[in-house]
């Protein structure tokens, strides 16, 4: 009986099984912790002025979003392959007409589906708390105005609204997801040749740290010290060896109320897809040669 070389249905089945597996591992406990952090940040620090209160809420929330997505992307992915080997689930899957590239793609999509769903829930909770806090602060400021002229009211609304709930915040969440997707694909690639879960976690975290400081490394070691073509070559090599995660760092702009345009979102998406595709190709080459 002939089987298709690639089946979206098989990939979807593997992705759904991966989500179920991660849920059973109580990964979603992070969601409860996030909600508690956001609510606490939303109604703490009443002594700060309204602008700083909203900025602090956004800063704390985006920090929690990034920690959640990166920790899940690295730790969950590092656990999947060893757990399947330990439970002998991997042998059962590969004994069926399931190519290894479909197994890897299913695992990646499963982790990304869980991260995406978690980010959507946290984005909704974050948006609700920020909206409530924005309305409360606006009412307090307007109540304290001596003269509520249309100009004064409009000025207050503009000031609070700039730091309040806007569509720009959701683009920030998209940037968090894209960064997590790249790191997840990287962790999957490392797990294909790693000797243990701990090795995968440590190596991936180290690469993530380097990826966040890649721009600084290029500026410090390359700028003006070598021939231009050598600098470009080394910069390209560094970008291949470690992902330039600074591309996705638009959170400071979002927190400060600056607009992240569709062009920036498209650029980040393109870079993320490029990295993910490259890591998945390497993962497949490594996994095919892996002795099971």
Structure tokens at 33: 């912790």
3-state secondary structure of 192: coil
Q: Model-level pTM greater than 0.75?
A: yes
**Helices 50-71, 150-163: crossing angle, 10 deg rounding:** 20
- Are 77 and 113 within 8 A, CB to CB? no
Instruction: Enter the DSSP assignment of 25.
Output: T
Average pLDDT of the segment spanning 249-257: 79
What is the Cα–Cα distance from 15 to 259, expressed in whole angstroms?
Answer: 35
pLDDT per position as a tens digit, 186-227? 999 998 888 788 888 899 998 888 887 776 666 655 555 555
pLDDT at 176: 92
For residue 194, report the phi and psi dihedrals to the nearest 5 degrees: -70, 150
pLDDT at 2: 47
What is the Cα–Cα distance from 127 to 56, expressed in whole angstroms?
Answer: 14
Structure tokens at 49: 């002025």
- Whether the predicted pLDDT of 268 surpasses 50: yes
Burial of 95 (C-beta count, 10 Å sphere; 0-12/13-18/19+) = exposed
pLDDT at 1: 43
Structure tokens at 116: 């995406």
What is the Cα–Cα distance from 191 to 286, expressed in whole angstroms?
Answer: 10
What is the Cα–Cα distance from 290 to 104, expressed in whole angstroms?
Answer: 13
Average pLDDT of the segment spanning 87-111: 83
Structure tokens at 134: 């924005």
Classify the C-alpha dihedral 167-172-174-177 as positive or negative.
negative
Give the pLDDT band (50/70/90) at residue 76. Answer: confident
Return the percentage of the chain with pLDDT > 70, whole number: 72
- Are 77 and 197 within 8 A, CB to CB? no
Quick count: other Cβ atoms within 10 Å of Cβ 131?
13
Average pLDDT of the segment spanning 101-109: 90
Question: In the predicted model, what is the mean pLDDT of the chain?
Answer: 78
pLDDT per position as a tens digit, 108-150? 999 999 899 888 888 888 888 888 887 887 777 777 666 566 7
Buried b / exposed e along 159-198 (16+ C-beta atoms within 10 A):
bbeebbbbebbbbbbbbbbbbbbbbbbbbbbbbbebeebe
Structure tokens at 272: 């993320």
């Amino acid at each position: 009986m002939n089987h298709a070389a690639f089946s979206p249905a098989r990939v979807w089945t593997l992705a759904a099984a991966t989500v179920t597996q991660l849920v059973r591992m109580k990964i979603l406990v992070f969601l409860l912790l996030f909600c508690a952090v956001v609510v606490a940040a939303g109604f703490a620090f009443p002594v700060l002025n309204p602008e700083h209160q909203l900025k602090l809420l956004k800063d704390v929330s985006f920090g929690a979003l990034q920690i959640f997505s990166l920790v899940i992307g690295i730790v969950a992915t590092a656990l999947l392959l060893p757990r399947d080997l330990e439970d002998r689930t991997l042998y059962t899957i590969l004994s069926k007409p399931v190519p290894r590239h479909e197994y890897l793609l299913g695992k990646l999509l499963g982790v990304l589906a869980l991260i995406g769903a978690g980010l959507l829930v946290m984005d909704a909770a974050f948006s609700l708390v920020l909206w409530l806090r924005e309305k409360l602060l606006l009412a307090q400021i307007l109540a304290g105005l001596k003269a509520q002229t249309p100009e004064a009211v409009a000025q207050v609304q503009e000031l609070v609204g700039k730091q309040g709930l806007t569509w720009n915040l959701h683009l920030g969440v998209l940037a968090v997801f894209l960064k997590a997707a790249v790191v997840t694909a990287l962790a999957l690639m490392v797990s294909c040749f790693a000797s243990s879960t701990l090795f995968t976690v440590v190596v991936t975290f180290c690469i993530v740290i380097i990826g966040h400081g890649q721009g600084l490394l290029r500026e410090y070691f390359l700028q003006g010290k070598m021939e231009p073509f050598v600098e470009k070559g080394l910069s390209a090599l560094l970008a291949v060896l470690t992902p330039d995660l600074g591309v996705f760092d638009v959170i400071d702009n979002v927190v400060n109320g600056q607009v992240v345009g569709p062009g920036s979102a498209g650029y980040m998406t393109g870079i993320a897809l490029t990295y993910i595709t490259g890591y998945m190709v390497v993962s497949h080459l490594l996994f095919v040669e892996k002795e099971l």
